[in-house]
Amino acid sequence: MTEDQSFLRDAVVSKIPDAAFYIPNFITEEEERQIIKSVNSVPQPKWTQLSHRRLQNWGGIPHPKGMIAEGMPDWLQKYIDKVTTLNAFEKEVVPNHVLINEYLSGQGIMRHSDGPLFYPVVTTISCGSHTLLDFYKRLETTEQQQQKLEFSLLLERRSLLVLQKDLYHNYLHSIAERDSDKLSEFSIKNLHMCAEKFTEQEIIKRGTRLSLTIRHVPKTSKLKLKIF
């Protein structure tokens, strides 16, 4: 952790590989309401429908040849600025892309890493519902069948999660397709950091969750599109 990131010291999730930071109630209830309202008010073509969820790209579409940068709407720029003040990124690195995923109860996402298209820091704001994020050690392709769940993090609504370093490069993360989660301090490494206090083996129901994943795409096209 650099000196500029010292403010994150109280947010570090201990007893797991470097590095995850968890901040409950990063946004207010009113900010959460405004985000949900703004996301659901965009024109239908802004949504990309996948088989198990739908999503929105803001700032451009990441591509190996470079992202054609688009302007960011004010309602999203507000949260980019809020994340930037945390110095989770290096001083010269400013987030320029937001991926919004909508997960209905029972929906999830397969094991994946964010990969080389992005600067190796991922920051995620959760709105509308909690979820459980599962982590698996990245193995060689021939060993993938041997992957086992290493640990999980509970992402409460209105929370912020920051992933960096070893967790970014050498671990995969996923969300299981189920409509409720059983909580255990043994497997959920940030349970003691959550705003709400839970009992061991408590089962909590999922609702509709919107995740705002705020990242930096280093390779962008010089052509910048302005949105109105």
pLDDT at position 147 is 81
Question: Residues 5-33: what's their mean pLDDT?
Answer: 92
pLDDT at position 12 is 96
pLDDT at position 107 is 97
Question: Residues 166-175: what's their mean pLDDT?
Answer: 96
pLDDT at position 47 is 97
pLDDT at position 141 is 66
Question: In the structure, what pLDDT confidence band is assigned to residue 26 with cuts at 50, 70 and 90?
Answer: very high
pLDDT at position 3 is 45
Chain mean pLDDT for the chain:
92
Residues 67, 128, 157: CA angle, nearest 5 degrees: 90
Question: In the structure, what pLDDT confidence band is assigned to residue 59 with cuts at 50, 70 and 90?
Answer: very high
Tokens found for residue 85: 């003040």
Q: Is pLDDT at 16 greater than 70 in this prediction? A: yes
Q: What is the pTM of this model?
A: 0.92
DSSP string of 66-117, one letter each residue:
-EEEEPPPHHHHHHHHHHHTTT-S-TT----EEEEEEE-TT--EEEE---TT
